[in-house]
Structure 1
Amino acid sequence: MKVMLGVSGGVDSSVSALLLKQAGYEVSGLFMQNWDEDDNGECRAEEDRKDALAVCGKLGIPFYSRNFAKTYWSEVFAHFLAEYRAGRTPNPDVLCNREIKFKTFLDEARALGAEKIATGHYAQVRERDGLFELVRGADAGKDQTYFLHQLGQAQLAATLFPIGHLPKAQVRELALAAGLGTARKKDSTGICFIGERDFRDFLSQYIPAQPGVIRSVDGQDLGRHAGVFYYTLGQREGLQIGGVRGRPAAPWFVVGKDIARNVLYVDQGIDSEWLHSRRLRSEAAHWISGAAPADEFRCTAKTRYRQQDVDCTVQVLADGTLDVVFDAPQRAVTPGQSLVLYQGDVCLGGAVIAETDAPFETRLRHGELP
């Protein structure tokens, strides 16, 4: 079988190439450049491309390189900016997987004669009763099904995850034993197009600063912010609020944003009641199987990556949106982020969070904020 592997220049895709070749597949590697280099050179695409090329050369497999930056800009980055302008916090990795790695890349792989694609994600695919299931990776600390929950039957049927059954430590051991140059390469973190640079500085290139007031939930003005777009719920860093007379010495956290008035609201204490919610409404949900398990059902959920699963009850509404009630209050559930649902180790799908019943959001909707 001809398989096109997405090679990134990292250890995970390198070992995926090794395992595919050992399993007897006719494997090729394709490097995707999703962001054109800027003056800062933070994305390091050329360095990663050279590492990917070296691995393919050592393993004796064909290497291809394609620039998908134009598609990435229109299908992922434009949405990323629109969400921030609306005061929400998007997750570009989810869109990148749906629109680039499992759509544009899949189309290109097929054009090059591949029957299936493969990636170095920590996830697994299982076929049961004619349906393909997305199953958590064996390494719970590295599982990436959260970012893959927008995939459907057609993508899963065409996809292999060669390292999904392995712990990360063993992946590095296999790379060392095979003499792959990426064996000790540091894992990439964050978003490629931002790299190691300051997030606020990067975003200000596209969304100009709009200074405004930082205000406590009881109405005291505490300082100034550069723009409410640059902050997210639960954030502590970057507020620059010093000691406030008459207030305890506890740290301050972002609890909400009033976009219309350009006011950033904060409260003290990591467990501020203003950050907690028991219920959320989502946008229309995507189901990996093609349909919801039932109109109402119990499952577990994540509202952010690497969060522990939490028990909840899900009601599927007539328009496809979800009404989700958690068994226990959840901290900093953030509109724009993804709600991802699970039954055991199987990822059911998910949806973008639209609103919650957190005290701040409730009062903002009713115009009750100071």
Structure 2
Amino acid sequence: MEKRRIVVGLSGGVDSAVAALRLKEQGHDVVGIFMKNWEDDDEGCTAEDDHRDARLVADTVGIPFYTFNFVKEYWDHVFQHFLQEYGRGYTPNPDILCNKEIKFKCFLEKALELDADCIATGHYARVRFHDGHYQLLKGVDPNKDQSYFLYTLGQRALSKAVFPLGELHKTQVRELAKSAGLPNWDRKDSTGICFIGERKFKDFLQGYLGTKPGDIEDPAGNVVGRHDGLMYHTIGQRQGLGIGGPGDPWYVVGKDTDRNVLLAAQGKNHPLLFAPALSMSSLTTCSERPLALPHRCAAKIRYRQQDQACTLVAGAGEGQWNLVFDEPQRAVSPKQSAVLYDGDVCLGGGIIDQPLAEVPAELAERVERVPTR
């Protein structure tokens, strides 16, 4: 194997630690970098602990360790967008934008300035060169595959990306960390959004967005409760609505952002929770080649969802696309990502604009022409 200079993003967690360990054991020239993306003077932020653990890992593995400060870049290119969309009542995924704008742009460019051949992270994903271009593949552990969060990576980023954990299962990663004596081998995996830390999500957001109370209406337009802000609720949510009374539990089935009204209905499988299709925009492909339309593929509309058979077709306007599913999908959430797959290969994805309550006849006709593979 060719020896390369590889800069590894050390987060303080066990995954990135084992990524660095494996590369070091393979004989590469490995440098550990901690990315400081958030000011850690707020109560509940774990950045200081993360930095300490990352440094301990670097010392144990025996690699140089440095810190890159991307606080301004993160605020400008990730957090501001996050706040803007939440302020409009939507719930975007900041981790996807962080990978695009920080880890595989700012971090990559900085690493290349240090004469790195490539960068590595602890993501459970794979990259291969096939048919003249780089492909992003799912990680082999179906419970940890993180290709969903990486779908925006284009050819340049993929050509410089190494994912040492792509062929491993999480249990193997823990075992490798323990046997190597890594100090964080049993550290609990982080969950949620990185900059919120141990704080409650709603409490954190209220510090920036405050509250924007409004009515909760049932499908008939009756007011059944009140909400503190559309941004604090997600499609399909059951907990925290504060609606009592007889019958089945209440679920969020939609948002009327123009009227600041949260829409709720009773029953986990209420028809309003399901959509046969969705509209999407900002479509990107990992190959940077346009997909021939209509295109038969599979999609995930949330992380860890099973692949859902669907057809990608052109939308009504420029820069618009539609996904028509073989089976109606539950809780389609605007501003989340729909990520496309062909087996293990991630094709790319886009931003969900809205669910479609029905498939227009002209759209259905185009879908029917596409043979099922």
TM range (shorter): over 0.9
CA distance in 2, matches of 1:271, 1:230: 22
Q: Runs ≥4 in structure 1, deviation > 4 angstroms?
A: none
Q: 1:270 aligns with which of 268, 286, 305?
A: 268
Q: 1:284 aligns with which of 270, 282, 285?
A: 282
Per the alignment, residue 319 of structure 1 pairs with 318
Per the alignment, residue 366 of structure 2 pairs with none
1:38 and 1:252, CA in 2 relative to 1: closer, same or farther beyond 3 A? Answer: farther
1:39 aligns with 2:45: no
CA distance in 1, matches of 2:210, 2:240: 17
Unaligned runs of 5+ residues in structure 1 are 360-370
CA distance in 2, matches of 1:338, 1:97: 14
Per the alignment, residue 358 of structure 1 pairs with 357
CA distance in 1, matches of 2:260, 2:20: 49
Quick one: which amino acid aligns to residue 290 of structure 1? E
Shift of 1:11: 0.6
Q: After alignment, is 192-201 or 346-355 more displaced?
A: 192-201
1:204 aligns with 2:206: yes
Is contact 1:295-1:316 (8 Å) kept?
yes
Shift of 1:38: 3.8
Shift of 1:201: 1.3
CA distance in 1, matches of 2:295, 2:110: 39
1:294 aligns with 2:297: no
CA distance in 2, matches of 1:98, 1:166: 24
1:27 aligns with 2:53: no
Is contact 1:217-1:266 (8 Å) kept?
yes
Per the alignment, residue 365 of structure 1 pairs with none
Is contact 2:148-2:303 (8 Å) kept?
yes
How big is each residue's C-alpha offset from its partner over 1:16-66, in whole Å with a ceiling of 9 and x where there is no partner? 1110011111000000011112431x2211111111111111111000111
Is contact 1:11-1:184 (8 Å) kept?
yes
Shift of 1:348: 0.1
Is contact 2:298-2:342 (8 Å) kept?
yes
Per the alignment, residue 239 of structure 2 pairs with 237
CA distance in 2, matches of 1:293, 1:230: 36
Is contact 2:89-2:229 (8 Å) kept?
no
CA distance in 2, matches of 1:19, 1:117: 14
* TM-score normalized with structure 2 length: 0.93
Is contact 1:222-1:241 (8 Å) kept?
yes
Per the alignment, residue 67 of structure 1 pairs with 69
The within-5 A match list for 1:167-206 is 167-206=169-208
Is contact 1:275-1:358 (8 Å) kept?
no
SS at match of 1:307: coil
How big is each residue's C-alpha offset from its partner over 1:171-221, in whole Å with a ceiling of 9 and x where there is no partner? 000001100011100000000111232211111111121112111111222
Shift of 1:86: 1.9
CA distance in 1, matches of 2:168, 2:20: 14
CA distance in 1, matches of 2:305, 2:127: 22
Per the alignment, residue 333 of structure 1 pairs with 332
* TM-score normalized with structure 1 length: 0.93
CA distance in 2, matches of 1:262, 1:68: 35
Shift of 1:358: 3.2
Shift of 1:295: 1.9
Quick one: which amino acid aligns to residue 348 of structure 2? G
SS at match of 1:257: strand
Q: How many residues align?
A: 354
SS at match of 1:77: helix
CA distance in 1, matches of 2:320, 2:140: 31
Q: CA RMSD in A?
A: 1.2
SS at match of 1:250: coil
Per the alignment, residue 369 of structure 2 pairs with none
CA distance in 1, matches of 2:291, 2:212: 45
CA distance in 1, matches of 2:331, 2:190: 25
Shift of 1:306: 0.5
Unaligned runs of 5+ residues in structure 2 are 359-373
Per the alignment, residue 368 of structure 1 pairs with none
CA distance in 2, matches of 1:150, 1:99: 10
Per the alignment, residue 95 of structure 1 pairs with 97
Q: After alignment, is 101-110 or 226-235 more displaced?
A: 226-235
Shift of 1:238: 1.0
